[in-house]
Structure 1
Amino acid sequence: MTSPSPDPSSSPDPGAPRSGLKNPQAAVRGLGAGTLVLEAIVLLLGIQPIRIMGGDLNGWGIASVIVLAVLAALLAGMMGRSWAWPAGTVLQVLLLASGLLHWSLAVLGLCFGGAWVYALYVRRTILG
């Protein structure tokens, strides 16, 4: 049995959000900001365990972690700006590159880089 063809007059508004969310822009901004805030918290909380268990995280490594965490927190508050998503991608690359200072930072870079790629995928899916 075939289903009847949809009536063109009852089709959804082409300007309406495809996701069904009332405010898809805000939802996507919240996803990006939440990802960056979580990244900042993990980076700051990870300094001491890395120093104790991982060994030789020197002053440059600690400074880079603090700078990256502050940048992530600041960027989380600016997710409404048009340049925020590309800047978040650059932040992930910088975190991965800081793995040259200590291997555990590269692991965090891979983890949060993956989370950021997923957030970008969700953003593209929701906003088109």
Structure 2
Amino acid sequence: MAEPAEHEHPEHGEEAEAPWTEPQDDRSGLKDPARAARSLAAMALSFEALALLLAIVPMRMILDDSTFAIVAILVLVLACIVLAGMAKRPWVWQAGAVLQVAVIACWPIHWALGVAGVVFGLVWAYCWYVKIALGKPPKR
């Protein structure tokens, strides 16, 4: 019978796997949980900016004088884009919450803007919840 060659035993040499180690208890399982939360915030703000931009045409059709509504929407869109670009800053979460309140405050302009503010406010609250959850150790 032929003796097994050394390359048939993966526990020796280059083919061997690294020994299993316990995962760190202070990690969520992601390589960079803070970056994942920032990316989620930037995506949510980007989608909000897009949704607000899409609201301009209906506001022009519905309202008799839509100038104030369009200016308010463009200011909110600009704020969304700026905050999405600055997602690395720690204060973006609070500023995003203020932005959601500002969109809800557009309810007197038209109720649809207020509803959009409520919807994106809930989305922002969920993003904040995910950020907090990613900062905690995973449940095993």
Q: TM-score range by the shorter chain?
A: 0.7 to 0.9
Report the equivalent of 1:87.
95
Shift of 1:14: 3.9
Contact 1:96 1:109 in 2 (8 A): yes
Return the match for 2:115 from 96, 100, 107: 107
Structure 2, gaps ≥5 residues long? 1-20
Report the equivalent of 1:24.
33
TM-score normalised by structure 1 residue count: 0.83
Amino acid at match of 2:105: A
Contact 2:59 2:69 in 1 (8 A): no
Cα distance between partner residues in 1 of 2:64 and 2:128: 34
Instruction: Name the count of aligned residue pairs.
Output: 116
Structure 1, gaps ≥5 residues long? 1-9
- Identical columns (%): 41
Query: Taking structure 1 as reference, are residues 106 and 56 closer, same or farther at Cα in structure 2, changes over 3 Å only?
Result: farther
Cα distance between partner residues in 2 of 1:56 and 1:42: 22
The structure with the larger Rg is: 2
> Runs of 4 or more off by more than 4 Å in structure 1?
none
Shift of 1:123: 0.8
Does residue 75 of structure 2 align to residue 49 of structure 1?
A: no
Cα distance between partner residues in 2 of 1:56 and 1:79: 37
Higher relative helix content = 1
TM-score normalised by structure 2 residue count: 0.77
